[in-house]
Amino acid sequence: MKLAAKSALITGITGQDGAYLAKFLLDKGYTVHGLHARRASDTLWRLRHLGIANDVNLIEGDLTDLSSLIRAMEKSAATEVYNLAAQSFVATSWEQPILTANATGVGALNVLEAVRLVNPKARFYQASTSEMFGLIQEAMQSESTPFYPRSPYGVAKLFGHWMTINYRESFGLHASSGILFNHESPLRGIEFVTRKVTDAVARIKQGKQKELRLGNIDAKRDWGFAGDYVEAMWLMLQQDAADDYVIATGKTTTVRDMCQLAFAHVGLKYEDYVVIDPKFYRPAEVEVLLGNPAKAKAKLDWVAKTDLQTLMTMMVEADMARVSRE
Give residue 3's pLDDT.
39
Write down the catalytic residue from 20, 30, 125, 153: 153
| Cα separation, 55 vs 265, whole angstroms | 35
Average pLDDT score over residue span 30-37: 96
Catalytic entry in 14, 31, 125, 131: 131
pLDDT band at 285; cut points 50, 70, 90: confident
Amino acid 40: pLDDT: 53
20 is catalytic: no
The catalytically annotated residue of 129, 194, 198, 249 is: 129
Query: Residue range 45-51: average pLDDT?
Result: 96
Domain ranges of the chain: 3-183+224-247, 189-221+251-289+307-325
3-183+224-247 topology per CATH: Rossmann fold (3.40.50)
Mean pLDDT for 295-300 is 98
11 as an active site residue: the answer is no
Cα gap 45→36, rounded to integer Å:
13
How many helices (H) does the chain have, and how many strands (E)?
A: 12, 13
Residue 80 falls in the annotated catalytic set: no
Digit-coded pLDDT (tens) for 239-276: 999 999 999 999 999 999 999 999 999 999 999 999 99
Q: What is the mean pLDDT of residues 24-41?
A: 90
- As a whole number of angstroms, the distance between CA 320 and CA 208 comes to 11
Question: How does residue 1 score in pLDDT terms, banded at 50, 70 and 90?
Answer: very low
Q: Is the pTM of this model over 0.85?
A: yes
- The hierarchical CATH code for the domain 189-221+251-289+307-325 is 3.90.25.10
CA distance 163 to 105: 9
